[in-house]
Structure 1
Amino acid sequence: MVCANSTFYNIAASLISGGPRIYKKDANSIASNNEITNDNIINSAAMINQENYPSETHIITTEDGYILTIFRIPGALGSIPVFLQHGLLESSSGWLIAGKNKALAYILSDNGYDVWLGNARGNTFSRKHQTLSTSDPRFWNFSWQELGLYDLPAIITYISELKNDSLFCVGHSMAATTFSVMAIERPEVAKNIKAMITLAPATYLHHIKGPVKLLSFFWRELQRISNALGIYEVFPRNIFVDNFAQYICKKQILRNIFCSNSLFLIAGYNPEQLDYSLLSKIWSDFPSGTSMKLFIHWLQQMTVNKLRKFDYGSRLNLEVYNNSRPPSYDLSKIQVPVAVFWSENDWLVDKKDVQYFYNQIPIKLGNYNIKHSKFNHFDFLWAVDAPELVYYKILQVMADYKNQIIK
């Protein structure tokens, strides 16, 4: 996150609980701070420490060379791990912004779970590769397929091996898409998951509403223009977004006009569940960046009522897939129990698409409509009443699952 007082916060984080612990995958050696983030961003570990929770930072390398940073709120010996994965243009910090007693990460920790916060390749905290720099177009040659094929397997395997236990997975928005890819393509990894709990699962987007829908009609043009101009990254942290977050979103009149309505235009209008004091923090983390290819793949999802691999166009599809159309994923191959949480006022994930997704899942864990008519897509992360409306039910779902297994 961006903050003018980053030095103060970093010092404070170091003083609490002896400072955050930092690990690399293949050794318990200490990584330097510049391996985690840059000087203008408070990482999730610092946010955790500010709330007086212990934190750890783990560096994981994927099979295809991407270096991911994940954060942990360690639980007691023998505690069950829960892995939280963010959605499109989000980061691990999204699970922390609401603060103690409000954010899901802290509520899980308070209830005895060992909490892990993931970061997908290309976002604020995962901008490294073994051989490629972010200035190399090859670094950005990924869509959400690769997140499911490589990122999630690397993280899930790492956690399950470290804990010698299977884990619960909770995913917001696009995380449901990447979890589905992982469960279908990497069943040997999926066996390490107790259950998958999806919040506003963006697996199907055919009935998406709002201004974002308009972009989907022009994904081919966007692809051609971005390739011609050499634009491979979208919505990274930059000085414009940082200034928007730190100056406009901190001024009450401006934040109530610009900062809140910008979120509502994306996710759905619900002012009564938005804590306006969080807007500066929200916009200091969101958007967190991704590849143009992934963004275009997301737009492609809106144009077909299928979960398909990336569409390169008829000619290239023949070369890549031996078919003029990209192949679809078969959700009946998902052998992990899945629960879905959805809301009526979610402009990005319509209830019709959620039900279509859930109906194809072989092992159903629960289908939960949030009991608030205006609850929107981002309310799953930051709503004032998210604990009562969503998080306590997640705890119940996990408790029921554990009790069922014990019996």
Structure 2
Amino acid sequence: MGHQHLKKNDPKFWNYTMQDLATQDLPCLINHIKSDSGFNHLSFIGHSQGNGLAFMSLSLDHCPHLSNSISSFIALAPAVYAGPLTTGFPFTAIKNLDWNSWKFIFGDLDFIPLMTLAFNYTPKRAFALLGYQMFAFLFSWTDKNWLNRRKAKMFRFTPSPVSSKSVHWWAGKDGFSTKGCTLDTRKDRWFSTGDQVDEKNQSIPKFPPLSLYVGTDDKLVLVEPLLERLKTHESVRLRRVDYFEGGEHCDFFWGADAVEICFYKILQDIQLGLEEMK
């Protein structure tokens, strides 16, 4: 997808981080869906970085009024706290790179543009094989829960170009892998209880009902510190915490049994949100 004014070879096209996605893109996306659909509320389903930016967006420091538009927040592999994988190679080799050093090595456009060339010109099965090996090395994934015949399709249609600056936000100096959390752990409270008011003396809505889906073999993110934080510091209503025994980071949609393991439960969460909005 292009841009109305910027070309893809312009660094400004790629000049965004998770902070920008949380404060600008997600609110615009939700408002667009509400406007086009005619509905006042929607269910948010996000995986990993997708729900990570939503947690940021709904926090008191960003766009807490967005909670008014969400009837259910469904987080697959919630990316709030970093898992043990971020303390090993290659993260340790790049986590001290400031933006100038990062830009010199990886550029300031899309991250590793060779991936786009490989996607466009490599036969799909070869691309899937190489893609799997690369991501298995980087993220300690396995295909134990996948159907092998689907692997080529999954790696053929999932990769997309991302901003080098956004990857720096995750993996570079003072980023997610360095701090270990997407939000400021020094804060007494991240999310609204429904009792606060903003600078205009307007009531801030309570954080929406939350469902967490967690793979017990996920090494990229940790859920236990998040649950402890929600218990000791927050007043978030936890609708569900569902553990996928032996599940890894992407098994909620790539797993051979994903439909039976979590799809029906997700539909239940959506339905509960709809009923509570009546």
- TM bin, normalised by shorter chain, reads 0.7 to 0.9
Shift of residue 213, structure 1, vs aligned partner: 5.4
Shift of residue 133, structure 1, vs aligned partner: 1.6
State the match for 2:191 in structure 1. Answer: 332
**Secondary structure, in 3 states, of the residue corresponding to 1:191?**
helix
With the length of structure 1 as denominator, give the TM-score of the two structures: 0.56
2:84 aligned to which of 208, 228, 241: 208
Query: Using the alignment, how far apart are the partners of 1:400 and 1:167 within structure 2?
Result: 12
Shift of residue 303, structure 1, vs aligned partner: 1.5
Shift of residue 259, structure 1, vs aligned partner: 4.7
State the match for 1:223 in structure 2. Answer: 99
State the match for 1:368 in structure 2. Answer: 241
1:24-43 equivalent positions in 2, closer than 5 A: none
**Secondary structure, in 3 states, of the residue corresponding to 1:135?**
coil
1:260-275 equivalent positions in 2, closer than 5 A: 260-275=132-147
The reply to whether residue 347 of structure 1 matches residue 219 of structure 2 is yes
Return the letter of the residue paired with 2:63: R
Shift of residue 150, structure 1, vs aligned partner: 1.1
2:64 aligned to which of 168, 178, 187: 187
The reply to whether residue 175 of structure 1 matches residue 34 of structure 2 is no
CA gap of 1:231–1:269, structure 2 versus 1, over 3 A, is: closer
Query: Using the alignment, how far apart are the partners of 2:122 and 2:188 within structure 1?
Result: 39
**Secondary structure, in 3 states, of the residue corresponding to 1:339?**
strand
**Secondary structure, in 3 states, of the residue corresponding to 2:85?**
coil
Return the letter of the residue paired with 1:148: A
Return the letter of the residue paired with 1:231: G
State the match for 1:141 in structure 2. Answer: 15
Q: Which has the higher contact order (CA 8 A, sep 6+)?
A: 2
Shift of residue 338, structure 1, vs aligned partner: 1.7
CA gap of 1:210–1:183, structure 2 versus 1, over 3 A, is: closer
1:85-164 equivalent positions in 2, closer than 5 A: 126=1, 128-164=2-38
Contact 1:267 1:347 in 2 (8 A): yes
Query: Using the alignment, how far apart are the partners of 2:266 and 2:31 within structure 1?
Result: 23
Q: Which runs of 5+ in 1 are unaligned?
A: 1-125, 310-326
State the match for 2:199 in structure 1. Answer: none
**Secondary structure, in 3 states, of the residue corresponding to 1:220?**
coil
Query: Using the alignment, how far apart are the partners of 2:225 and 2:30 within structure 1?
Result: 27
Query: Using the alignment, how far apart are the partners of 2:45 and 2:210 within structure 1?
Result: 10
Shift of residue 204, structure 1, vs aligned partner: 1.7
Shift of residue 203, structure 1, vs aligned partner: 1.7
CA gap of 1:230–1:263, structure 2 versus 1, over 3 A, is: closer
Shift of residue 292, structure 1, vs aligned partner: 1.5
RMSD, aligned α-carbons: 3.0
Return the letter of the residue paired with 1:341: Y
Contact 1:241 1:283 in 2 (8 A): no
The reply to whether residue 239 of structure 1 matches residue 113 of structure 2 is no
CA gap of 1:145–1:226, structure 2 versus 1, over 3 A, is: same
With the length of structure 2 as denominator, give the TM-score of the two structures: 0.79
Query: Using the alignment, how far apart are the partners of 2:135 and 2:28 within structure 1?
Result: 32
Q: Cα deviation per residue 1:370-392 (whole Å; 9 max; x = unaligned)?
A: 3422x110111211000111111
Query: Using the alignment, how far apart are the partners of 1:280 and 1:222 within structure 2?
Result: 36
Shift of residue 249, structure 1, vs aligned partner: 4.8
Contact 1:308 1:329 in 2 (8 A): no
CA gap of 1:148–1:362, structure 2 versus 1, over 3 A, is: same
